[in-house]
Structure 1
């Protein structure tokens, strides 16, 4: 079975969906897991298959409308993921709004990479962030499109070529198990000490910064002009990101140390692009046909990546085999 399609293939079976939901609800301690699974089995199947339909249509659609199709496809898959941990989703109408907003576009000199998105108090994005990724208190947080694109490893070389910037450093990784009774798995990341020189921090300051900005606990030690960063293997996002070739990366810029996991970066970028191509027709048309700056190159590359990688990232929410 194709790994990045397995969750889609499996959830074409209502029988499997009910069995999966029952197991999930039991693990979370819900009462009457069998009844809840029976109630939500078809809904989960519909969410997954509707998401697949949007993505299939997006792959054959012109670039001008791809963002809308991929955004609604990803939204359906995320709603399916929510249903696996919240049998009453959606319990209120408050979680149905998008939960993010974009600033009004400026017709003169507007650049997509410099655009921002702001998190609202209620809606799908803050609800998903809290329920699926344990990310709280994001209301009012702003994220620049450039920074959201920068944490996608597959775009690293494009930034290096077009923007003369290298937002991510590749790291060597090695798994190890704790000798203590809990047998936790840890990842040792080996990277040049150039990282700390670039962000102007000591190892202890780096540990403190990551803990305060992201909440991830790690150990950072210097050894022969290298850094050895030890982190819980099951807490790899963020600030550690992985490409589709199983290579690991860590940001080289302080603004990239934020709580957003890569999957939600895809969601925010797609949301903004889908709003632009629906409501900013003049700018969208000019972008598509004037080739005036680097925006189109990044948007085109991102859409080609997200159509393949989004299913992989979703896979981890259902079966935890990507992160």
Structure 2
């Protein structure tokens, strides 16, 4: 049985289609010699996609002990294909081939995954794909906690509520061809804002929301966006696989974080793959003793990543 997500990329396994696709992307970016460059990178582009999907397919039948390694390296391959769709000269040098992220090498006896951090390095794949795919530049040395990363994935919010018996977000509804998002007006009280101040807040967080309209109607807050939100970079809104939309209750948690979802998955899978490879004792204890709340978060996340990442990559490649 072929994995359903494998079908997403089948058109790209035609050199004719992929070359035409790359040519069109390069022409949009006004890259010189777009057609000849698309021919040069076409094979590499297709193999990155194919290898990425093979890793994901293998992960779907592998035990949890191995899943993080397979998913991370599969994701790296898919990201490289995405970069090639926007930059035919990648990789320009060997510096961009490193992961671009680091983590604490030795875990303490009291180690908890949710409290762990990853640190961004100056060069490498992480900074490279943020810049080339999302035009986001990050400074060397920024740190991100695993708990923060999980909080910014809509697919994890139900688990937070179940385990902590308290919701970390408000759930909204999408209307009017996805241009309108409706939340409870409670969000204004939580953020200590008027509708007008909330408009300014959204515009300050995401330039694509410039011209947003926020109207309070009884118990509802109706947010009308200039365009339907790009779910690849919908900050501060987060979407789950079922197209439900969420907004964190804590305003300070939003101010602290603004990475697109594809970057969030990279950081989480990087750290999990490192633990899987180099912290065998802790990883084994986690899986077999069910201590604390780390295991439910990690297990649920790996299932989400396996299902959702191919769709995010496909959405990136197919965006206009």
SS of structure 2 residue aligned to 1:73: helix
Residue 56 (str. 1) matches residue 57 (str. 2):
yes
Deviation at 1:138, TM superposition (A): 4.2
Residue 235 of structure 2 corresponds to residue 241 of structure 1? no
| Unaligned segments of structure 2, at least 5 residues | none
Is residue 184–residue 221 contact of structure 2 (8 Å, CA) maintained in 1?
Answer: yes
The DSSP-based 3-state class of the residue aligned with 2:60 is helix
**Partner SS state of residue 63, structure 1:** coil
130-139 vs 70-79, greater mean Cα deviation: 130-139
What residue is the counterpart of 1:264 in the other structure? 263
Please point out which of 222, 234, 244 is paired with 1:228.
222
Cα distance change of structure 1 residues 263 and 58 upon mapping to structure 2, 3 Å threshold:
same
Q: How does 1:1-323 map to 2 (within 5 A)?
A: 4-175=5-176, 187-215=179-207, 217=209, 218-231=212-225, 232-236=227-231, 237-254=234-251, 255-257=253-255, 258-320=257-319
Q: Return closer, same or farther for 1:279/1:311 CA change in 2, 3 Å cut-off.
A: same
- CA change 1:210–1:3 in 2 (3 A) is farther
Give TM-score, length-normalised by structure 2. 0.90
SS of equivalent to 1:143: strand
Q: CA deviation at 1:2?
A: 9.1
Q: Residues 151 and 168 of structure 1 are in contact (CA less than 8 Å); yes or no, is this contact kept in structure 2?
A: no
Distance in 1 (alpha carbons) for counterparts of 2:236 and 2:187: 13
> Structure 1 pair 2/168, CA: closer, same or farther in 2 (3 Å)?
farther
**TM value normalised by structure 1:** 0.89
For 2:144 and 2:58, locate their aligned partners in 1 and report how far apart those are by CA, in whole Å.
Answer: 29
Contact 1:135 1:259 in 2 (8 A): no
| 3-state SS of paired residue (2:176) | strand
Deviations along 1:82-127, whole A, 9 cap, x unmatched? 0011000001122111112223454222111111122222111111
Offset of 1:214 from its aligned partner? 4.9
- C-alpha contact (below 8 Å) 1:55/1:69 kept by paired residues: yes
Shift of 1:208: 3.9
Pair 2,23 (structure 1): closer, same or farther in 2 beyond 3 Å: farther
CA-based RMSD of the aligned residues comes to 2.2
CA distance in 2, matches of 1:3, 1:28: 32
